[in-house]
Structure 1
Amino acid sequence: MQQSDPHAFRRSRAVVPVLEVLDEAGSTNDVLTARAATLPDLSVIVTGNQTGGRGRLGRVWVAPPGRTLAISVLLRPDGLAPEAFGWFPLLAGLAMSRAVAPLVPGTVAVKWPNDVLIDGAKVSGTLSELLPDLSGLVIGAGVNLSQEAEELPTETSTSLVLAGAESPDADIVLSSYLTQLTALYREYLTAGGDAVRSALRDEVAEACHTLGRAVRVELPGGDTLLGTAVGIDADGRLIVESETGRTAVAAGDVTHLRY
């Protein structure tokens, strides 16, 4: 796990207090969590070769070296109760969507809670994990830069190159993501963790491709919920309207359905 050229990612280093670029890492989230006690808020670890990354619901996430970015950001929201941390994954998804949108000709949107889609195909996802002492969390994000179709994990995935970006520069992508995430993070803290009062809920909802769609939600307990996604509540939960009424979903694997 060697560190890359300290002069690499010059744009990105100007955005955050600490940025470490690793030649390789098993999981950038694990590395950052292990070092969190000695690092300031908004510290970042990034690599182009993550060998043991994890996705949501325990999925393994591995990509060809140099074709993706794996990014982990440390958030220490001073004075904010852990109950308010649920909005951070949504803000990360919104930040990544805003970072990649100028690079591609297609439509960029967010699938609740934090997958980023280009014309319906996934280009990025995030995984947020609480620090053991609950003093903050680590937000991991992976973004597909230049994979060819046969190198992607699923038929519903894409990369920036496949979506029409011309030679996407990793530093531009990273610096834009960090700039967007930092702005949203500070806005949320300024509002005392109130996503409604700060209008962040409206911003997330506007970017959310899930709202208004028929969905199937695989819930953590194994149950399946079928209905229409009709909103996002004050805690960042997806509101699904079904035959039995409205259900607030805090966690689950969402599939967009086509009827």
Structure 2
Amino acid sequence: MNFSQSAQLAKRLDWVESTGSTNSDLIAAATADSAAYPDFSVLVTSEQTAGRGRSGREWQAPAGSSLFVSVLLRPTAVAATQFAWLPLIAGMSMANAISQFAGSQRAQVKWPNDVLIGDKKVCGVLSELLPDASGVVIGAGVNVFQSLEQLPVETATSLAVEKITIESLDDLLAAYLKNLRLHMNDFIALAGELGATDLHEQISMTCSSIGREVRVLLPNNQQFVGKAIAIDSIGRLVVQNESETRSVSVGDVVHLRHN
């Protein structure tokens, strides 16, 4: 498959016809030979047989129906404590890329790592730290060509279902990499300290969770229901109800209703 546009944007780009998981493969390769895999090395496929999302959830799709891409990021000037921003930056980058092809439709990010069109998931993002903490691999899987019948759940959608046309996977990947590089340059220039910055505002504006009533499913099997009011200075979702305000760093967010 031809990824000539995308190859010009990556330090290294490898295409495989099929693999278990692009994240696992890129982590293993970068760990075995770090010099051969610099910042912004990319691995891409259209078929994953052992893909996974957050919390190890299985993620598979019919062969050739999706774009699966993993990007190695080595933001050496940024403290690891700021890496929580990376899934949000990647999600925003993919949302912006999809929106370029979507006409009046707008893709947005559900905190922390899902890209939605309307209220339906079109892309998921998974970030994983290298074993030596020298970098992070950001994986993204986009439902591109699936029909409605091929989608695994009612809450999912695809570019085809939404009637969003792309000429090639290379066009979509190149748009994503351009956006990701742009936002990562800003992130690194700020040393990950987003605070009250333009990048923080852009992420907040792309996040459809803000302003919504949400249910947060916490790792300890507890739930917290309230209104998502902001993303704080280290990427946590701030949720408020009548009794308290919490800043959530880990958890699944369910959008309860439209405003």
| TM bracket (short chain) | over 0.9
Alignment match of 1:51 (pick from 44, 49, 52): 49
Compute the displacement of 1:167 (Å). Answer: 4.7
Compute the displacement of 1:154 (Å). Answer: 1.0
Alpha-carbon distance between aligned partners in 1 of 2:234 and 2:78, rounded to the nearest angstrom:
14
Aligned pairs (5 A) from 1:92-107: 92-105=90-103, 106-107=105-106
Alpha-carbon distance between aligned partners in 1 of 2:93 and 2:58, rounded to the nearest angstrom:
23
Alignment match of 1:64 (pick from 62, 65, 71): 62
Compute the displacement of 1:168 (Å). Answer: 4.5
Residue 54 of structure 1 aligns to a residue whose secondary structure is coil
The amino acid that maps onto 1:200 is L
Structure 2 equivalent of residue 142 of structure 1: 141
Q: After superposition, what is the alpha-carbon deviation per residue over 1:12-45, rounded to whole angstroms, capped at 9, x for unaligned?
A: 0011110000011100000000111231000000
Structure 2 equivalent of residue 240 of structure 1: 239
Moved more, 140-149 or 194-203: 194-203
Q: After superposition, what is the alpha-carbon deviation per residue over 1:106-158, rounded to whole angstroms, capped at 9, x for unaligned?
A: 23211111211112211101000011111111000000111001111210111
Compute the displacement of 1:198 (Å). Answer: 3.8
Pairwise CA RMSD of aligned residues? 1.2
Alignment match of 2:12 (pick from 13, 18, 32): 18
Identity %: 44
Residue 141 of structure 1 aligns to a residue whose secondary structure is strand
Structure 1: segments with no counterpart, 5+ residues: none
The amino acid that maps onto 2:127 is S
Check 1:167–1:185 CA distance in 2 against 1; reply closer, same or farther (3 A cut).
closer
Indicate if the aligned counterparts of 1:26 and 1:53 stay in contact, CA closer than 8 A.
Answer: yes
Alpha-carbon distance between aligned partners in 2 of 1:244 and 1:153, rounded to the nearest angstrom:
37
The amino acid that maps onto 1:149 is L
Give me the TM-score of the superposition, normalised by structure 2.
0.95
Compute the displacement of 1:79 (Å). Answer: 2.5
Alpha-carbon distance between aligned partners in 2 of 1:13 and 1:229, rounded to the nearest angstrom:
38
Structure 2 equivalent of residue 88 of structure 1: 86
Give me the TM-score of the superposition, normalised by structure 1.
0.95
Compute the displacement of 1:57 (Å). Answer: 1.9
Indicate if the aligned counterparts of 2:166 and 2:172 stay in contact, CA closer than 8 A.
Answer: no
Alpha-carbon distance between aligned partners in 1 of 2:130 and 2:107, rounded to the nearest angstrom:
31
Residue 257 of structure 1 aligns to a residue whose secondary structure is strand
Compute the displacement of 1:166 (Å). Answer: 2.5
Structure 2 equivalent of residue 203 of structure 1: 202
Alpha-carbon distance between aligned partners in 2 of 1:125 and 1:118, rounded to the nearest angstrom:
12
The amino acid that maps onto 2:91 is G
Q: After superposition, what is the alpha-carbon deviation per residue over 1:53-93, rounded to whole angstroms, capped at 9, x for unaligned?
A: 00112210000011101100001111321101110110000
Indicate if the aligned counterparts of 1:160 and 1:168 stay in contact, CA closer than 8 A.
Answer: no
The amino acid that maps onto 2:233 is A
Task: State the number of aligned residues.
Answer: 253
Structure 2 equivalent of residue 186 of structure 1: 185
Q: After superposition, what is the alpha-carbon deviation per residue over 1:216-247, rounded to whole angstroms, capped at 9, x for unaligned?
A: 01011111010000000000000000233110
